[in-house]
Amino acid sequence: MKRGLYSVLFAVVVVSVGFGIYAWHPSIAPIKPPAKETFSSELIEKGKVLAAAGYCSTCHTASGGKPLAGNYEIHSEFGTIYSSNITPDPETGIGNWSEDAFARAMRTGVSRDGSHLLPAFPYEHFNKMSDEDIKAVYAYIMSSVEPVHQEKKENGIPFPLNLRFLQAGWKLLFADSSDFEPNLNKSDEWNRGAYLAEGITHCGACHTPRNVLGGEKHDEMYSGAPIDGWIAPSLTSSSTSPLKWRKQDFVEYLSTGNSLYHGSAGGPMAPVVHDGLAALSQDDIQAIATYFADKAGNANDDPTQSPELQKAVDAQKLPDLRIHEGARLYAASCQSCHYSEKKLVKGRPLLTLGSAVHLDEPTNLINVILDGFRADQGIKGVVMPGFRDALSDEDITAVAAYLRETAGEKPWPNLEKHVGEIRRQPRFEQ
Ligand code: HEC
Ligand code: HEC
Ligand code: HEC
């Protein structure tokens, strides 16, 4: 009995010590901020493009704050997280970080002082970057970003989840710490796309579903997930789009914020297109599109010949106004901008083609009806008014239910409850 107890105790001690050794990382000595001349101008320029493509500034700039000075609020289900100041300020930013300290943070999510960082920082993806690319981002930040003195706010994560060393356990269980592995059966273009998508542009951070502890489900890569009050749709062959995503559709969507045969990039996808991917070359966008076209099944059918297209157009014609209130509201509030009898028109998305009406959740459709599209979302410069004040919960429910029905999908359960909940949600800067 006693022997059994000792061996359990012994095992606990061994595991704890083992975990302690695994979890512990040394502090990396501070350095004097490197002089700008240390870096070549090509390296700096490359880093600037990569920093844009990795949306560092989307997450590291607070609303109305100085670029990269941190304290941007992230609302996770575990509590509020504030991003760090990554300007080269030596006291409150990363000015005294050596390149090694920076690379360690980007690859393993460990801060210069040895403490573990939360996976809200997508280091799991940045880990896939080459040494040269990480070096370039470091060169850009150290040489070209204005140092800002601003302390990071304390994260609002409750005890014990706020204990940073516990992150080591999370990493052990869930983090993908493998390097980027090219797939030798695929083309160079495909591999370039995979490298950018899995690494710096971290598409999977939003499009891959997560388990209850927030770990990405690697065997369901890109199959769609909720993110920041939106749904990032599936990018694989499980997509519910009536028309298949082809390579040229991805190219169009990722470079203009809209695909004629699908729809527009709203919510958290808007800055991905306009702040992030916009910095990349057309070749790189083509490469990302090649990679995702493959994930989506390499469709190449001509959409204009598709019966699905004809069905979608017919479904949006002037509705029979006797059907129900939703049909009347669609005719009065949406159709003039969203339907054209002759042909599809860029900037007037046909609603039965977009993912918003085909997803299992009504979230994206309700978000768009409430808040519309700003000029910097979807197609640049094109606006849709929000109907937050013009339509009641009952109205939005009716029009959403009507659109869902015309799209040939099963009704969404508890729709009106969702509308009310989403309306009352605080709106986050996106
Ligand atoms: C999705 C949001 C997000 C994106 C995108 C993002 N970060 Fe962060 N980053 C964070 C958060 C949140 C933290 C702080 C995490 C914590 O408190 O543990 C952080 C922390 C860091 C740290 C650690 C700083 C410190 O003092 O410990 C570095 C370095 C960093 N980010 C660099 C970058 C770079 C470079 C990019 C772009 C290539 C980037 N981040 C993109 C959210 C993000
Ligand atoms: C004044 C014109 C206008 C009206 C009225 C309007 N929209 Fe829009 N809507 C647009 C434009 C323009 C876009 C594309 C915005 C972009 O890409 O920047 C859009 C985009 C959308 C999208 C995203 C497209 C997609 O499928 O991905 C949805 C969903 C949508 N509208 C639903 C509605 C609904 C429902 C109504 C009626 C309650 C409505 N809209 C009324 C102009 C309008
Ligand atoms: C910050 C989270 C986030 C990141 C990062 C992100 N996405 Fe998205 N994505 C979304 C959301 C949310 C939507 C839904 C937007 C909408 O319908 O208005 C979306 C929509 C899309 C769509 C349209 C799908 C459909 O069926 O309507 C495509 C294509 C897409 N994303 C590709 C990508 C690619 C490629 C990357 C990486 C380069 C990427 N996304 C990175 C959140 C993200």
**What is the pTM assigned to this prediction?**
0.96
Beta carbon of 399 within 6 Å of any ligand 2 atom? yes
Q: Is the CB of 253 under 6 A from ligand 2?
A: no
DSSP assignment of 168-193: HHHHHHH---PPP---TTS-HHHHHH
Q: Provide the b/e sequence for 174-201 (b: ≥16 CB within 10 Å).
A: bbeeeeeeeeeeeeebbbbbbbbbbbbb
Is the CB of 287 within 6 Å of ligand 3?
no
Give the distance (Å) from ligand 2 centre to CA of residue 365. 10
The residues of the chain that CATH labels 1.10.760 are: 25-149, 303-424
Probe ligand 3: pick from 76, 244, 272, max atoms within 8 Å of CB? 272
User: Residue 385's CB: how many other CB atoms inside 10 A?
Assistant: 12
Task: State mean pLDDT over 396-417.
Answer: 97
- Protein residue closest via CA to atom 19 of ligand 2: 384
The atom number, within ligand 3, closest to the CA of 289 reads 35
Ligand 3 atom nearest residue 264's Cα? 18
The answer, yes or no, to whether any atom of ligand 1 lies below 6 A from the CB of 81, is yes
Report the separation in Å between the CA atom of 385 and the middle of ligand 2, taken as the mean of its atom positions: 8
Can you tell me the distance from the alpha carbon of 148 to that of 95, in angstroms, rounded to the nearest whole number? Answer: 10
pLDDT at 321: 75
349-397 pLDDT, tens digit per residue, is 999 999 999 999 999 999 999 999 999 999 999 999 999 999 999 999 9
Look at 33-37, 134-138, 253-257 and tell me which has the smallest mean pLDDT: 33-37
Q: Is 373 in the pocket of ligand 2 (CB under 6 A)?
A: yes
Tokens 């022997």, located at residue: 3
Sequence letter at residue 260 = L
- 51 close to ligand 1 (CB < 6 Angstrom): yes
C-alpha 137 – ligand 1 centre gap (Å): 13
Ligand 1 pocket: which of 87, 92, 121, 155 to mutate (most atoms within 8 A of CB): 121
Domain 303-424 annotated CATH 3.40.50:
no
- Nearest C-alpha to atom 1 of ligand 3 is from which residue? 268
Question: Is 97 near ligand 1, meaning CB less than 6 Å away?
Answer: no
User: Residue 13 — pLDDT band, cuts 50, 70, 90?
Assistant: confident
**Ligand 3 in reach of 230 Cβ (< 6 A):** yes
The rounded Cα 221 to chain-centroid distance in angstroms is: 13
Q: Using a 6 Å cutoff on CB, does residue 251 contact ligand 3?
A: no
**Is the minimum distance from the CB of 166 to ligand 1 under 6 angstroms?**
no
pLDDT per position as a tens digit, 264-309: 999 999 999 999 999 999 999 999 999 999 999 999 989 999 999 9
Distance 113 CA to ligand 3 centre (A): 34
d(CA 83, CA 94): 13
* pLDDT, position 426: 79
pLDDT in tens, 147-159: 999 999 999 999 9
Q: Catalogue the E-assigned strands of 219-285.
A: 225-227, 230-232, 258-259, 263-264
Looking at all shown ligands, the one closest to residue 378's CA atom is 2
To the nearest whole number, what is the mean pLDDT of the chain?
Answer: 94
Q: Ligand 3 atom closest to Cα of 354? A: 27
Look at the block and give the residue holding tokens 């339907």.
339
272 lines ligand 1 (CB under 6 A): no
Binding residues for heme c: 56, 59-60, 203, 206-207, 334, 337-338
Q: Report the top-level CATH class of 25-149.
A: mainly alpha
Q: Are 400 and 362 in contact (CB under 8 A)?
A: yes
SS3 231: strand
User: Any alpha helices (H) in 35-130, and if so which ranges?
Assistant: 41-53, 56-60, 99-108, 123-126
